[in-house]
Chains A and B, each alone.
Chain A
């Protein structure tokens, strides 16, 4: 009799545990990071039932693909969003680019050459020359501002990655501890595996991660360069060990334990949010250089041979945007030697072509960069959404199924309880009868 009571008691305990697991599934039905669990009930030798295992419906390959896609999507989306605002500085279709400033300046020069004695044409030329410089400098300053913003973003992102890495190392430590305890008191630690996956998915927004898990579920997280495996990988977390990333804003380098992984001549972080900030930083550097080159071309192509009584003078002085200024004065234009008119007109028509086409090439490059990012972003957004829905369908909770399983378990629980009640009464009766 006592033996049968012990069997019933183990069944009741196992049943209660199974009900808890089903309840937990239902409670987390809306949690995107939760992976559904199925209790595996097993007969034990000598009689009785236990929850032998909690089957976690994880799919690590799909999860890895989902995270890879998330890294790319987040990176492209951020880069696209930043570049969209930068591109307005060079958007001539909507009239916010430099084209109108360049055209106004050259038109003013040619107007002056046709009417060199009119004071108005001289004033207009000087004003448009200055406004072209100002517009170019404004854009240069804006690009510099974006770069400064990127440095701040990189600092914050590296800090976040370090925090997440530390948290993951701590979760790994708890998994090891609870895995050992679970063997003895049948507690499960699956919630830690969900926590682990949640942290890894958060990390995947910032950097491309590759995850390896051991039999217990302890994760090793590597940061890789998505574009080239030849660059090796950073071991961010291995068991309870965590390797901190260090960012130096002066040299724009990221190092781990003294080894430099990211620098201007050796790019490592090229995707994810961190990659987006580094890519944008270097893209702005490139655009700044283009603006400097444009300023140099403008200066070189501004020689007005009839100015200053025919001695000739450059309209602009300097070498690039850092020191460009309007060199010519109203007096130089007042004393313009009209015999040079035809030569200067032909020269400035050619200069207009040269400067205009150099700017057009640059503006087309900005527009092309933006289109490419949109193509990559849209594709990756579609891919990520489709992988996410596939993953959720596979590991997420279906409340209908869970409720029906729960109902069955509750009925079983009531039946076992009644049997225990009856056995107990029977035992009391027997004891009283003795």
Chain B
């Protein structure tokens, strides 16, 4: 059965708690984005959960980027720019 937006947002709010789980929850995140685009009005609860998800994605991305930069920093690409 297809899940509705609120259920998906609640599931992500509860279970998507680590930047290292992004792969696992990627399909649900994509589904949320497509459902939000289709929907004309969001309920207050949905708005808050969506706000949480967006903030979470932005903050997690910040951390993953920093950690990735540090890993890349340790590689040497000799002879390349």
Contacts and interface: CB of A to CB of B under 8 A. Distances in A.
B55 A386 contact: no
Contacts of A380: 59
Contacts of A65: 63, 66-67
A375 B20 CA distance: 20
Contacts of A375: 48, 51-52, 55
Contact of A383 (B13, B48, B63): B63
B67 A61 contact: yes
A61 B66 contact: yes
A62 B55 contact: no
A366 B3 CA distance: 33
Looking at chain A's contact residues, is the secondary structure mostly helix, strand, loop, or mixed? helix
A404 B51 CA distance: 49
Contacts of B60: 383
Contacts, number: 40
Nearest to A385: B17
Given A65-B66, A65-B67, A386-B20, A379 B56 contact: yes
B45 to A, nearest CB: 11
Nearest to A72: B59
A47 to B, nearest CB: 36
A390 B51 contact: no
A383 B19 CA distance: 7
14 contacts: A62-B67, A65-B63, A65-B67, A69-B63, A371-B51, A375-B48, A375-B51, A378-B52, A379-B52, A379-B59, A383-B59, A383-B60, A386-B19, A390-B20
Interface in A370-424: 371, 375-376, 378-380, 382-383, 385-387, 390
Nearest to B21: A386
A382 B17 contact: yes
Interface of A: 61-62, 65, 69, 371, 375-376, 378-380, 382-383, 385-387, 390
Interface in B39-55: 48, 51-52, 55
Nearest to B49: A375
Contacts of A383: 17-19, 59-60, 63
B64 to A, nearest CB: 10
Nearest to B17: A382
Contacts of A387: 63
Interface of B: 13, 17-21, 48, 51-52, 55-56, 59-60, 63, 66-67, 70
Contacts of B55: 375-376, 379
A386 B70 contact: no
Contacts of B70: 61
A378 B56 CA distance: 9
Interface centre among A69, A376, A379, A385 (most CB of B within 10 A): A379
B30 to A, nearest CB: 20
A375 B53 CA distance: 9
A371 B52 CA distance: 10
Contacts of B21: 386
B15 to A, nearest CB: 10
Contacts of B52: 375, 378-379
Contacts of A385: 17-18
Nearest to A66: B63
- Which 5 interchain pairs have the tightest Cβ spacing? A386-B18, A382-B17, A61-B70, A379-B56, A375-B52
Contacts of B59: 379-380, 383
A102 B41 CA distance: 32
Given A61-B67, A378-B13, A383-B59, 14 more contacts: A65-B63, A371-B48, A371-B51, A375-B51, A375-B52, A378-B52, A379-B55, A382-B56, A383-B17, A385-B17, A385-B18, A386-B19, A386-B20, A390-B20
Contacts of B19: 383, 386
Contacts of A378: 13, 52
